[in-house]
A = this chain, B = another copy of it.
Amino acid sequence: MKLSSTNLLLTAASAAVLAGGLQSCKSKAGGVSAASNDAAAKVYVAPGKHDEFYNIVSGGFNGQMSVYGIPSGRMFRIVPVFSQHPENGWGFSEETKPMLNTSHGFVPWDDLHHIALSTTKGEHDGRWAFGNANNTPRIARVSLSTFKTEEIIEIPNSAGNHSSPFITENTEYVVAGTRFSVPLDNGNTDVPINTYKDNFKGTVSFIGVDKTTGRMNIDFQLLLPGINFDLARAGKGASKDWFFFSCYNSEKANTLLEVNASAKDKDFIMAVNWKKAQAYARSGKGKKAAVKYAHNVLDEKNHTATSTIINEVLTLDPKDCPDMVYMMPCPKSPHGTDTDPSGEYIIGSGKLAATIPVFSFAKIQQAIASKNYDGNYDGIPVLKYDAVLHGEVQKPGLGPLHTEFDGKGNAYTSFFVSSEIVKWDIKSLKVLDRVPTYYSIGHLSIPGGPTAKPHGKYMIAYNKITKDRYLPTGPELTQSAQLFDISGDKMKLLLDFPTVGEPHYAEAIPAALVEKNSKKIYKIEENQHPYAAKGDNMAKVERKGNEVHVMMTAVRSHFTPDNIEGVKLGDVVYFHVTNVEQDWDVPHGFAVKGANNAEILIMPGETQTLKWTPDRTGIFPIYCTDFCSALHQEMQGYVRVSPANSNVALHFSTGTNKPAADVAAKK
């Protein structure tokens, strides 16, 4: 009874709010269209011309990153990260399967929410894009030169890895915080759920990033109360040694959180002095905990990934590390915590709050120095709200989520419930402008918006409800983004564009910082894959027990070999295909009929391997799956599979119908 009435109430409430949101938008829709007369010219990128910005967008529940051009809103790539990608064999080829390994085994999917583009001195350096896996906690690093995922590291003692990945000013650390508290891996994990308050803990992990290679390692973890960490931002300038994490469910509810985690008027933003934490870790204040997590690395020397299981992590307990962690009260269930370009102002966005609190880093330091506390939370000092507050933006809108900056002293905050973006002055806290979004915006993105040096000009809204914005595609709809011009005093809507997956957060970066480093091909002479065939004359087929290894070349417009015999039922066939092309944009694809596997898509100079276990005897065609040349349709071949007891010898050839054995013998 209680349940269903609660349910009805809340559903009705949410529905009313949404309907309200929609109506308010509807009534303004005409105005928007009228206001966008010059928009067409502003978003049009003429054929052959390039966009001004790369927009690196999280794929949400598709588990990938996608790359868009701004201002055109055109999508250039889906970069596979945490999910299998049949299109190019990611997670299907022997070389990439290890990238999706975890302590739970092979995981073919995840939920990538946030992007962090690497920075030096707080400014974009165009090197790497980091992304988080929410469901099976991991952090990924994508190269902005190859646009490939180079590394994935799993996070132990974690669940719902949502407060991730956010970075320090010089990308010294990527952080990962738990949205879902759980019992620590090395304790007793089989406990009643309703012992949450006693047994469930949160953690925040600091993952070191190598300056040169980008290689990640978990430097230390903070052991924290069983609270939900939502988002985070590092400080900048004066506050650069600090990291700020938004916290909700300070009620520590373990069921029906929509009610039970929304009881208190204030939750927290947690301030961490990461420099001090690092010093504690170095000075032996930490404890090593037994855990199990995977660290997966792609090596472009042989285009092959390896997965290593690691069994230990260093943990720091605030009880043993004074002056490392503080709590700041923040109204109510904060989603975003964002640091302005100067680093002085920290903005909290309480998604159930009617105000936006702006905290002052200087005041935070004073409050800490004078121990101006309001008690503690699980032993962590709580700073007095008034003592650390610069001020509040009054009645800005309903459901503030996230704030970014234009570098001109203005903040832009997204409002999910009232479905709008509000522009306000960081110092005066005055609201300057507001614009509706269609519909129910989550995050927003301004190029360089989270950095010390925003690039400004545009703002993109990532909206959660699409409804009638595009031609309908049945019950399942795209998610929608909206592009705004923020170069003037007033925000101007320019374009609606659809997105893939469920983009949550994104960053945009000037094309000039990335374009110049973009890799075109892999040099064939540098290919160290053990089964690479770097020319047709190196192609061969070898048997190792019941394994048949085909070292095959692909070049316009044939495979070598393209006729293979002597495979037997019970064999496992490995097609190691090397694309010997050395021109940009000449991939070859490879597939074999009936394989319980995807294709492989091989870039110039690369070797990829498709594993195939024939399920019957007969003739199996192979072909190039990528339209590579005028004679692409002719780029095919055949594999003969004989019975297990057959005496057909291993043969391979291309371009001759002589008994293949002769050809094999010649080599």
Give how many copies assemble into the complex: 2
Could you tell me if B76 and A62 are in contact, using CB atoms closer than 8 angstroms? no
- Does any Cβ of B come within 8 Å of A278's Cβ? no
Q: How far is the CA of A560 from the CA of B256 in the complex (A)?
A: 9
CA distance A585 to B230 in the complex (A): 25
B11 touches A555 (CB 8 A): yes
B46 close to A44 (CB less than 8 A): no
Residues of B within 8 A of A189 (CB): 616-619
Nearest CB on B from A567, distance (A):
11
Q: Is the pair A535, B4 in contact by a Cβ cutoff of 8 Å?
A: yes
The 8 Å CB contact of A438, one of B47, B521, B563, is B47
Q: Establish whether residues A465 and B585, one from each chain, have CB atoms under 8 Å apart when the complex forms.
A: yes
Q: Are B14 and A557 interface neighbours, CB within 8 A?
A: yes
Q: Do residues B6 and A476 form an inter-chain contact, with CB atoms below 8 A?
A: no
A498 touches B646 (CB 8 A): no
Chain B residues near A636: list those with CB within 8 A: 160, 179-180, 257
Give min CB distance, A245 to chain B, whole Å: 14
- B47 pairs with A44, CB closer than 8 A: no
- Check if A515 sits within 8 Å of B471, measured CB to CB: yes
Indicate if A259 sits at the interface (CB-CB under 8 A). yes
Question: Binary interface profile of A, 180-203, with partner B (CB < 8 Å = 1, else 0)?
Answer: 101101000111111000001000
A-B contact pairs, 11 of them (CB 8 A): A2-B656, A33-B48, A76-B478, A135-B593, A189-B616, A230-B633, A262-B631, A352-B630, A466-B585, A471-B515, A474-B520
The segment from A98-106, A305-313, A323-331 found at the interface with B is A98-106
- Given A107-B596, A469-B47, A471-B51, A654:B3 Cβ within 8 A: yes
Complex Cα–Cα for A537 and B4 (A): 7
Shortest Cβ gap from A64 to chain B (Å): 9
**Contact B587–A258 (Cβ < 8 Å):** no
A475 to B, closest residue via Cβ: B603
Assess the A471–B47 pair: CB atoms within 8 A.
Answer: no
Digitize A302-323: 1 where CB-to-B-CB distance is under 8 Å, 0 elsewhere. 0000000000000000000000
Bound together, the chains give a CA A47 to CA B40 distance in angstroms of: 10
What's the nearest-Cβ distance from chain B to residue A641, in Å?
A: 7
A69: chain B residues within 8 A (beta carbon): 470-471
Give which listed residue, B134, B498, B591, B657, contacts A254 with CB less than 8 A.
Answer: B657
- Which B residues are CB-close (under 8 A) to A352? 630
Contact of A180 among B59, B194, B616, B621 (CB under 8 A): B621
A87 cross-chain contacts in B, Cβ below 8 A: 59, 61-63, 83, 500-501
Q: Which residue of B lies closest to A587 (CB)?
A: B476
The residues of B that contact A192 with a CB separation of less than 8 Å are 565, 640
Binary flags per residue of A133-157, CB closer than 8 Å to B gives 1, else 0: 0111100000101111000000000
B47 adjacent to A631 (CB under 8 Å)? no
Q: Which of B46, B77, B438, B536 contacts A39 (CB 8 A)?
A: B46
The stretch that binds B, out of A340-348, A356-364, A489-497, is A489-497
Q: In the complex, what residues of B have CB within 8 A of residue A399's CB? A: 630
Contact with B along A457-500 (1 / 0, CB 8 A): 00000001111111111111110001000000000010111101
Given A33-B48, A631-B14: A601 and B471 within 8 A (CB)? Answer: no
Is there a chain B Cβ closer than 8 Å to A206's Cβ?
A: no
Contact B562 A51 (CB under 8 A): no
Tell whether A207 is near chain B: CB-to-CB under 8 Å.
no
Q: Which residues of chain B have C-beta atoms less than 8 A from A86's C-beta? A: 62-63, 83-84, 108-109
Query: A41 contacts the other chain (Cβ, under 8 Å)?
Result: yes
Return chain B residues, CB-CB under 8 Å to A10.
556-558, 631
A257 and B634 form a contact (CB under 8 A): yes
One of B76, B136, B555 near A498 (C-beta < 8 A): B76
Q: In the complex, what residues of B have CB within 8 A of residue A500's CB?
A: 75, 78, 87, 500
- Residues on B with C-beta less than 8 A from A619 are 159, 182-183, 189, 191, 193, 200
Contacts of A60 in B (CB 8 A): 625, 627
Residue-wise interface mask of A (70-96) relative to B, using a CB-CB cutoff of 8 A (1 in contact, 0 not): 000111111100011011100010000
Given contacts A87-B62, A87-B501, A595-B107, contact A147 B520 (CB under 8 A): no
Bound: A580/B536 CA distance, A: 59
User: Given A61-B589, A633-B230, do A626 and B502 touch, yes or no (CB 8 Å)?
Assistant: yes
- The answer to whether A47 and B74 have CB atoms under 8 Å apart is no
- A228 contacts the other chain (CB 8 A): yes
User: Cβ of A335: which chain B residues have Cβ within 8 Å of it?
Assistant: 633
Residue A635 at the B interface, CB < 8 A? yes
Q: Which of A7, A511, A591 has the most CB of B within 10 A?
A: A7
A67: chain B residues within 8 A (beta carbon): 471, 473
Chain B residues near A562: list those with CB within 8 A.
255-256
Partner of A474 from the list B148, B351, B637 (CB cut-off 8 Å) is B148
**A36 at interface, CB cutoff 8 A:** yes
B108 and A498 form a contact (CB under 8 A)? no
Q: Which residue of B lies closest to A598 (CB)?
A: B109
Smallest distance from the beta carbon of A560 to chain B beta carbons, Å? 7
Minimum C-beta distance from A130 to chain B (A): 17
Asked if A429 CB lies within 8 Å of chain B CBs, one says no
Are B555 and A7 in contact (CB-based, < 8 A)? yes
Judge whether B248 and A633 touch: CB under 8 Å: yes
A444 CB to closest chain B CB (Å) equals: 14
